[in-house]
Amino acid sequence: MAVRAIRGAVQLDADEAGHMAERVGELLTAVLERNEIVADDLISIWFTATPDLHSDFPAAAARGIGIVDVPLICAQELDVEGAMPRVVRILVHVETYLSRAEISHVYLGATAALRKDIAQ
């Protein structure tokens, strides 16, 4: 078994706590399902949000979908001019038998443009 990192992102329509919980929950669920990961496989999750998001902590969405005993941390993305607005990114560390090539990184909606090389 190896430790792997899985990337992902989602863009919000608005900076609203309920909407953030819904969209980030959708992103996390997609990452887990596409990589056949269960909560016991999770090591930690890093969340970043663009500076225009401040209605809630993205990590709260993980707790909302039942990820309750995994270390989570939130940080703010760099404020780069011209960057895509209202984006939450994740970096999920897992134990898995999947090779790096088999990992499915998840970029929902418009965020697929952020990483065309790995978005699936």
Task: Give the residue ranges of the annotated binding site for prephenate.
Answer: 7, 89, 107
Q: DSSP letter at 46?
A: E
Segment 71-94, tens digit of pLDDT: 999 999 999 999 999 999 999 999
pLDDT at 115 > cutoff 90: no
Domain ranges for the chain, please list them: 2-115
d(CA 13, CA 19): 8
Determine whether 4 is exposed, middle or buried from the number of CB atoms within 10 Å of its CB (0-12, 13-18, 19+).
buried
Q: Are strands 72-76 and 42-49 parallel, antiparallel or unpaired?
A: parallel
What does the DSSP assignment read for 9-30? EEE-SS--HHHHHHHHHHHHHH
Give CATH for domain 2-115: 3.30.1330.40
Segment 28-45, tens digit of pLDDT: 999 999 999 999 999 999
Tokens of 53: 């998001």
pTM value is: 0.93
d(CA 63, CA 92): 14
Task: Give the residue ranges of the annotated binding site.
Answer: 7, 89, 107
